[in-house]
Amino acid sequence: MTDHAGVPMTLAALRALARAKLRAVGLAEDHAEAVAETMVAGERDGCASHGIYRLLVAAASVRAGVVVPDAVPVVSRPGKALVRVDGGGGFAQLAFARGLPVLVAAAREHGIAALALNHVVHFAALWPEVEALAREGLVALACTPSHAWVAPAGGTQPVFGTNPIAFGWPRPAGDPFVFDFATSAVARGEIELHRRAGLPVPEEWGYDAEGAPTTDAKAVLDGAMRTFGGHKGSALAAMVELLAGPLIGDLTSRESLALDDGRGGSPVGGELIVAIDPAGFLGEATTAHLARAEAMFAAIEAQGARLPSARRYAARAHSLAEGVVVPAALHAEIMAIGAAA
């Protein structure tokens, strides 16, 4: 997605375009603002698949009636260290934005706290959320189910979603340590790209609908993806289903896919975010102990290995200075949103 025959844009211009197009498809002002911010962050950080391309995905979800465009998130406190935001069927971004300050305050007061987002539509990566918490000085862990596309280890039929896990850790000087990965062997979009390009996929990516190994991308999309890391990745995928599904009273990936009923919309359901305040266990020694974490990061980088978020931060620095280039074909598709409606 590094098409040089593209349209150069500043991040401010990209933000304005994203907001305008989200408004044009009928998204309420506050939702358009929150959703645009996530897409701009993805594009800025070089994550093309979670960047401004997602405008097309979000617009489709609105048109298909999968998302409630003017949902009003409702914040509640079901427990002393628990926060819930009922998203009312809207996109997750605004629900998270409403819950963020409440979660931060709860984590600082209790040392640890959890935020459940319920009844939200997911199309975005989780790293912007754990990064936001880490920038508040908190350690954060987030996960969400999706649609049932992934088979458990030892099976061949879909049960799990791509079920990402994201983690953020505050660093005293500089950007937080952040990772965010799917518990499936690859992102579903990666298989879709192979299908479009007519390329075979590695056999360890998935099964066809009959449960046989296959290198046919479409057969995997119609069959089942596999988890990363064998039975360990499968165990983590199950954990994500449980934590961000039944534990918070929301849908599993199988339930989300059943609810979609073939509309092809983004997953609907819940998300769990746990935040821990380092000052809780460490008190006045917080600075000293965070420095010991820095020594571990240094030991990783000293041998030429890269921290998970390094590539994104490098792309970010470039985008902040130079802006981004939106591929010409994508730009044309985006400009047609709303106009075509």
Q: Nearest distance from residue 137's CB to its own copies, in Å? A: 12
- Name the burial class of residue 156, with classes exposed (0-12), middle (13-18) and buried (19+) by CB atoms within 10 angstroms of its CB: middle
Q: Nearest distance from residue 165's CB to its own copies, in Å? A: 8
Q: Nearest distance from residue 117's CB to its own copies, in Å? A: 11
Please spell the DSSP secondary structure of 19-84, one letter per residue: HHHHHHTT--HHHHHHHHHHHHHHHHTT-GGGTTTHHHHHHHHHHTT-S-TT---EEEEEETTEEE
Catalytic, out of 31, 33, 43, 50: 50
Length of the chain: 341
C-alpha–C-alpha distance, residues 180 and 303, integer Å? 23
Amino acid, single-letter form, for residue 21: K
Q: Which is nearer to its own copies, 296 or 332 (CB)?
A: 296
Residues 225, 188: contact at Cβ < 8 Å?
yes
Q: Is 147 annotated as catalytic?
A: no
Q: Nearest distance from residue 140's CB to its own copies, in Å? A: 11
Closest residue by Cα to residue 39 from 128, 110, 109: 128
Residues 189, 199: contact at Cβ < 8 Å?
no
Catalytic, out of 37, 110, 190, 318: 190
Q: Which is nearer to its own copies, 8 or 246 (CB)?
A: 246
Please spell the DSSP secondary structure of 276-294, one letter per residue: E-HHHHHGGGHHHHHHHHH
Phi and psi (nearest 5°) for 274?
Answer: -110, 135
Q: Nearest distance from residue 238's CB to its own copies, in Å? A: 7
C-alpha–C-alpha distance, residues 143 and 166, integer Å? 6
Q: Is 190 annotated as catalytic?
A: yes
- Assign residue 94 a region (left: φ > 0; alpha: ψ between -120 and 50; beta: otherwise): alpha
Q: Is 266 annotated as catalytic?
A: no
Q: Which is nearer to its own copies, 129 or 255 (CB)?
A: 255
Tokens of 56: 């097309």
Tokens of 290: 């965070």
Q: Which is nearer to its own copies, 61 or 256 (CB)?
A: 256
Residues 118, 86: contact at Cβ < 8 Å?
yes
Closest residue by Cα to residue 133 from 273, 339, 329, 330: 273
Q: Nearest distance from residue 242's CB to its own copies, in Å? A: 5
Q: Nearest distance from residue 37's CB to its own copies, in Å? A: 25
**CA quadruple 50, 51, 53, 56: dihedral sign:** positive
Which residues are marked as active site?
Answer: 49-50, 190
